[in-house]
Structure formats: structure tokens, C-alpha cells
Amino acid sequence: MVPRHLLTTPISRELWHALQQRSRSSGQSIADIVQRTLAEALDLDHDAVFQVSTSGAIFDGVFEGFVTIGDLRRHGDFGIGTFDAIDGELIMLDGHCYQARSDGSVRQAPDDALTPFASVCWHQADLRVEVREPISWPELERLLDQHRPTENATVGIRCDGRFDRLHLRAACRAESGTDLATATRGQAEFVHGRISGTLVGFWTPAFARSIGIPGYHVHFISDDRAIGGHVLDLQAANLTIECNWTNDLRIAMPSQGAFLSADLHGPDDATVRAVEGQAAAFRDSRT
């Protein structure tokens, strides 16, 4: 485990007894209770994923942005998503938000830009793994699977290193009401080689498919911030992998518009494979 900051402070006997009682009644550790209480007092989403809308809505074509990037950055420094009218891929890293567009360009997104779907958190590594041998995307998935402590929690994933080959996509602008599988059939795809950068993404449990995209959903941003997109496939080496487990989810949902009549049940496996890319579908066909 990656060490975190250690806080040592005296507390009253009454407070200690109250913490013990809350721990017994809730099943949470005292450390978790203290951190959550401090985060609430300081207005921080500690150990929480803040999500804009749901996977059910975005797959059903609800593409109107309603949360600003400036507001999104108040809830995390790390995450992924898309922009109004699914105009490209959103990558948030170290508090900066980038837009990878379908023309291959990358820009820092202005705070007044809107997102219809995104997931962010405050990245704090619970686990760090060094990979010094060449590794493919299926091998990286299997390695991450080995280190996930449960099938029932969301995992934030950051991988820094050198990529010998990257197959990326960037969604093109589409009108709301077009289902996501149809909208991404015309996606722009790019292949890059010998590039250094960072993978940013999440693993989401299968039971949460109506809220988040199940399985691995990962974006990329290069060190020079000139190349980015949604990862379809890769070959890499010399990776530093950081994972953080999240035990809380907070969702901002639209209060009007197409969301109110959307089918929010979430995508089936075939639709997820279609949207995540042909590389993912090919991998599944071999397992």
C-alpha cells in the first residue's frame, strides 16, 4: 500500500467512545469514519467518485452538457468523460482538464465548457505497481484484475510510462437523441508510436452498468499534452501503475430535458463492446 499522510491528535474520551460505537454499528473502520467526517466538514468529496449523469443516459443519446468544467474541477483532479454534443474525449489529470478532438488536436478545456457525462475523483494511490517488461492491453487488464481487491468497488487507474503503440479514438460531434453506439460509428481513430504519457481511467463493477460504463474505460494524454483520446488498444513498457479504491459515488443528474424521458437501464454487453471499440470486441472473442 502507498503510505498516506499520518495525522496524530489527542481527542476526548467521549469522542473516542463515539467513534468506536459508530465503527461497530456501521462496519466501517475508525480511520474511514474520521476521514469521511473531515471531508464533509471541509466540503471535499474524499474517496468519492463524482459523476455527471449516467451511462444509461449517455448511451441513450442524452448529449446536452449541463455541468461546467470549472464545477467539475471542484470535485476532483483526475477523471474522464466527454463534452457537450460528445465533442471529443475529456481527460482530467493533476487538476487540468483536456479536450481531445476528432481532428486530432488537444486543448485545455475552458472552465465554461460543458459536459454531459464525466467521472472524476481526487487521485490518491492505494497501490503502486512498477512494470518494466513490455505489456499489451489484454495483459495490462489481467494485471489490474489481479490487484483489484473486489469485484464490487470502483477503481481509479493511472498509468504513467512509455507506449510503443497506441490506438486511440475521439468521438465526433453528434446530435442528442442519437444512441451512442450509432454516434461513435463515425469516430476518428489514430495510431501513435513511441510516445510517453498517462492513462487515466476507471474500472466499474458490472452491477453498476446503468450508472457507469462496466469494466475498464481508459483515456490517454501525452506528456506534451499534444495527443489524447479514448484507448482502444496499446503496447507499452516501463509503466508505473497507481490504483485507488473508491467507496462512495455522488451523481449530478439533469433536472430537465431529454434525460427525463431517457431509457436509463444501461447498455448491454454487446453495446458496450461496440462503443468501446473493435479491439475490445476482438479481445473478448479470444477469451
pLDDT by residue (tens digit) across 27-38? Answer: 767 877 786 677
Mark whether 163 and 27 lie in a shared domain: no
**pLDDT score recorded for residue 40:** 66
Amino acid letter, residue 261 = S
Domain assignment present for residue 62? The answer is no
**C-alpha separations of 16 from 6, 25, 30, 95 in Å:** 18, 14, 9, 36
Phi-psi region of 106 (alpha: psi -120 to 50; beta: other; left: phi over 0): beta
Instruction: Give the pLDDT confidence of 174-196 residue by residue, as tens digits.
Output: 988 888 888 888 889 999 999 99
Any idea what the CATH number is for the domain that residue 140 is in?
A: 3.30.1330.80
Indicate whether 67 belongs to any domain. Answer: no
Region 8-34: what's the mean pLDDT?
83
Is residue 49 included in any domain, yes or no? no
Number of domains present in the structure of the chain: 2
Asked if residue 146 and residue 36 are part of one domain, the reply reads no
Residue 181, domain member (yes or no) = yes
Q: Let me know if 65 is exposed, middle or buried by CB neighbors in 10 A (0-12, 13-18, 19+).
A: buried
- Same domain assignment for residues 31 and 122: no
Q: Is 68 inside any structural domain? A: no
Residues 136 and 278 in one domain: yes
Q: Is residue 163 part of a domain?
A: yes
**Residue 12, phi then psi, degrees to nearest 5:** -70, 160
Evaluate whether 154 touches 202 at the Cβ level (below 8 Å): yes
Domain-embedded: residue 128: yes
**Three cell numbers written together for 176:** 442528442
Question: Coil, strand or helix: which one is 216?
Answer: strand
For residue 258, give its domain range: 118-286
pLDDT at 255: 77
Q: What is the mean pLDDT of the chain?
A: 88
Q: What is the mean pLDDT of residues 60-87?
A: 95
Q: Do 143 and 39 sit in the same domain of this protein? A: no
Contact 168, 231 (CB under 8 A): yes
Q: Are residues 152 and 35 part of one domain?
A: no
Q: What is the mean pLDDT of residues 42-61?
A: 84
Asked if residue 140 and residue 275 are part of one domain, the reply reads: yes
Judgement on whether residues 264 and 128 belong to the same structural domain of the protein? yes
Shared-domain flag, residues 26 and 167:
no
Instruction: Name, in order, each residue with C-beta under 8 angstroms of 285's C-beta and a sequence gap of 6 or more.
Output: none
Residue 125 lies in a domain: yes
Burial of 217 (0-12, 13-18, 19+ CB in 10 A): buried
Residues 39 and 144 in one domain: no
